[in-house]
Structure 1
Amino acid sequence: MSLSNVSGMPAGQWAPIGFNLLVWTAAISEEMNPVAERLKTIGYDGVECFIDQQDVRVYQQFGDHLKQLGLQSTCVTVVGPDENPASESAKVREQAVVQLKGVVDRAHALGATVICGPFHSAFATFSRREPQPDEYAYSAEVLHTVGEYAKQANIVLAPEALNRFECYLCNTMSQLIELVRKADHSNVRAMFDTHHANMEEKHFPDAIRTIAPVLAHVHISENDRGTPGDGHIPWDDTFRTLSELNYSGWMTIEAFTRNDINFANSINVWREFSKPWDIAENGLKFIKAMQAKYANV
């Protein structure tokens, strides 16, 4: 199986490598300019930004700076219970469409090509029952609508499966691919996150092959959210399988710290795993070493 190419690179070549700014903050501002500059110097191809409700001009300005540096960008976002795509309330689902179209607008202003995250349903919001067929149908309808909007901006939506403690609608690649198929839109695909898969998948190669037909984005994230390569994620299985599938989309490091206290508290990060620049520098070296190891699989 060969994955279709969303990165703009020829099939068979390795992915561009990005770094998620959430290790420093959820808020984009000019204070992130020096961070982007150093990430470029280290050797990253792009950065990933969290999208919230800040003015579109904030993203435009930061995007302009990234372009000047020669950096690309991707985005990550979440939705809350008041804009839950899987809600039985039509009004809440309508608000989900409004919210996610706003995310598309901000991502477009930034110059991003991918929006990833668990926006198929409300983050850390539970119904206290197993996911229902209607919930998948509701979510798929919202994703299709927003996918059509994102198509105009040449942006791919890549919803993410989360672990059972943060989400109930999509925990596995099997659930996620069914949702994406129900959404039935070329701009609605999927992402694979190694941290969540470590908790929910039986076998990484099988999980990656399951999602392969719609895979558009990969988060390289250690089991403890620290520096990739320092924990027990099955990295050899991950990189070998992605190479076998000719994956050439983004590989973006997503790690967390307590730098942004409000964000850290919202995702239950209560201790420091690694220092931000240690993660960035050592994580990039690790990814490049693994890419080289499996370049000719």
Structure 2
Amino acid sequence: MSTLPLTQPSLSPVGFNVLAWSAVMSEKLNPIADRLKKIGYDGVECFIDNQGVDTYRQFGAHLRQVGLQSTCVMVVGPDENPVSESAKIREQALIYLKGAIDRAHAMDASVICGPFHSAFATFSRREPQQDEYARSAEVLHAAGEYAKQANIVLAPEALNRFECYLCNTMDQLLDLVRRADHPNVRAMFDTHHANIEEKRFPEAIHTIFPVLSHVHISENDRGTPGDGHIPWDDTFRTLAELKYNGWMTIEAFTRNDVDFANSINVWREYNDPWDVAENGFTFIKKMQAQYAS
């Protein structure tokens, strides 16, 4: 009697965010990508700035050459704030998002994540208002329509209360994504921010899962995943139970890029970036195997 072969579970691809080295896109990232590939990573994540599209196209070509996929992360500032009362600023927000989509598309990226639902570290000195969610959702919907043409998913991110006021929790983020009402506007879950804002990880992940498309694996101190107190067993168990198979991308920060580090209040070194990359990859693979079913 013949038996059917056992099928292996579909594990999430593993990525690494090169912000640990630089927020500036350049050919200097090429050898970093090469080494990440040798470690075993499936892709890299890079920051989108205002450089020309060709710069991203060239990096994307290098990634394809070495067999790596890509995702992107971005922020918006007060001059392109989707929640602004000014129609002119909201129009600029959409232009900025479209430019980011063009750059990501040139790199052949599949996801743009980040807190681009509102301006980073820009506060109104009051709790988020319903009209702010409505304005942000309108901009995100329009950006989602543009991203659809490039086959890119926009995954806005909830940040902790010290960096953002519009979306701190998965409840708030889910509400915003549903208001945006576009298949190319989904959501991401970041373990660092959730460690500050969520009561319990399993409930938070269940809340956002209907629209979840991206996960940042980030330790409580932004160092090597597995070295701190993030509830990793809860995280990997819940994602496995829900059969999540999107990206798991390590986001860790250093002072290698001083301007970027200063902009996000990173004042010390947590771990060497290659320690994060090598030990973090081993940690994710171990946890994926432990909870695979």
TM-score normalized with structure 2 length:
0.97
Whether the 8 Å CA contact 1:194–1:221 is kept in 2: the answer is yes
Superposed CA offset, 1:136-188 (max 9, x none): 00000000000000000000000000000000000000000000000000000
1:17 is aligned to: 14
1:276 is aligned to: 273
Paired residues, number: 287
1:141 is aligned to: 138
Whether the 8 Å CA contact 1:12–1:243 is kept in 2: the answer is no
- In the alignment, structure 2 segments of 5+ residues that lack a partner are 1-6
1:259 to 247, 256, 259: 256
1:187 to 163, 184, 188: 184
The residue correspondences of 1:121-270 to structure 2 (distance < 5 A) are 121-270=118-267
Distance (Å, rounded) in 2 between the aligned partners of 1:258 and 1:129: 32
1:3 is aligned to: none
Q: Helix, strand or coil: the match of 2:235?
A: helix
Distance (Å, rounded) in 1 between the aligned partners of 2:287 and 2:83: 38
Post-superposition offset of 1:12: 4.8
Superposed CA offset, 1:177-215 (max 9, x none): 000000000000000000000000000000000000000
1:33 is aligned to: 30
Post-superposition offset of 1:79: 0.1
Q: Helix, strand or coil: the match of 2:216?
A: strand
Q: Helix, strand or coil: the match of 1:47?
A: strand
Distance (Å, rounded) in 1 between the aligned partners of 2:120 and 2:29: 26
Post-superposition offset of 1:51: 0.2
Post-superposition offset of 1:78: 0.1
- In the alignment, structure 1 segments of 5+ residues that lack a partner are 1-9
Q: Helix, strand or coil: the match of 1:75?
A: strand
Letter in 2 for 1:26: A
Distance (Å, rounded) in 1 between the aligned partners of 2:11 and 2:177: 24
Post-superposition offset of 1:122: 0.1
Distance (Å, rounded) in 1 between the aligned partners of 2:27 and 2:72: 17
Percent sequence identity over aligned pairs? 77
Post-superposition offset of 1:14: 1.2
* Higher-RCO chain (CA-CA 8 Å, sequence separation at least 6): 1
- Deviant stretches of 4+, over 6 Å: none
Aligned CA RMSD, in angstroms, stands at 1.0
